[in-house]
Copies of this chain bind each other. A is one copy, B any other.
């Protein structure tokens, strides 16, 4: 049964004004709960594990920067956590300055190195001759601008707003269309109900042998399940053992997905379920073939029970 109250205490990868806060705000109304920034992904996950927070929002992958290992490892190790929601946020960088500052006034610009890397061409073109300075976070850079430390920060719009800065330029990323995928994680509990357009995440650990991954993927293919992401990751502490992070279409409550995961549980060294949650990237799952639909599984199960009971309907 769903708990009577929704999560109300949210943790997120801080500081205030980061893209993580923007992502959280995009899905949770301001009045819906308290939200507290944490200094790192591990700290955010730890807050959820300890019960200090009911749910935590962390980045999982970025279309330009790739996976976020701290999140992957943080979910794969330690007490179980599950993803209950995914949130996609366009990476929209703003050049934030104190009110009244013009582009010509800017003598120094700061941001997190990742943000600087993604806006390098714009900065070179528009602020030639100025060497960008590293900051601990995009939001931290904005705070430093507000404090008069630098003239400009590359940050999220929400950070500019929070620190009373003006957006001198928006959408300054070199690659248009970059997007970050965040996930909201919680301690295990009742799963989000299937919506008909869900994803399931898991980590499968297999002993290294030729064809091992093929065998894992086959369990999905024979049941008509599409994968949306795969990433191998060597285990830190076990030679010749690999873990695979997999996202597939469907919900563990779907029979095809449930049977596939049970099969992995049999054939893998280890399987960790990381959650079934609504797909939120604006795409629809591939239509499920009749033969892989819940009805087909139910029908087949009924047939098997009858055959085993000696009733062949003759």
Contacts and interface: CB of A to CB of B under 8 A. Distances in A.
A171 B68 CA distance: 24
Contacts of A231: 230-232
Contacts of A300: 262-263, 265-266
A272 to B, nearest CB: 8
A307 B265 CA distance: 11
Interface residues of A, number: 84
A190 B310 contact: yes
Contacts of A27: none
Given A190-B310, A230-B231, 6 more contacts: A40-B120, A218-B222, A252-B308, A258-B308, A262-B304, A266-B292
Contacts of A197: none
A210 interface: yes
A273 B307 contact: yes
Given A222-B263, A231-B232, A210 B120 contact: no
A124 to B, nearest CB: 11
Given A221-B214, A266-B300, A303-B262, A40 B175 contact: no
26 contacts: A63-B234, A64-B73, A79-B314, A80-B312, A80-B314, A82-B312, A113-B113, A113-B134, A188-B310, A190-B309, A209-B226, A210-B226, A210-B286, A213-B227, A214-B218, A214-B220, A227-B232, A230-B230, A230-B231, A230-B232, A259-B259, A261-B307, A262-B297, A266-B291, A266-B296, A273-B307
A313 B79 CA distance: 9
A221 B217 contact: no
A167 to B, nearest CB: 23
A241 B314 CA distance: 23
A136 to B, nearest CB: 5
Contacts of A229: 232
A175 to B, nearest CB: 7
Nearest to A82: B312
Contacts of A22: none
A215 B41 CA distance: 36
A303 B265 contact: yes
Contacts of A16: none
Interface string A256-270: 001101110111000
Contacts of A112: 113, 134
Interface string A55-82: 0000000011111111011000001111
Interface string A271-314: 00100000000000010000110001101110110011111111
Nearest to A274: B312
Interface in A216-258: 217-222, 224-227, 229-234, 236, 244, 252-253, 258
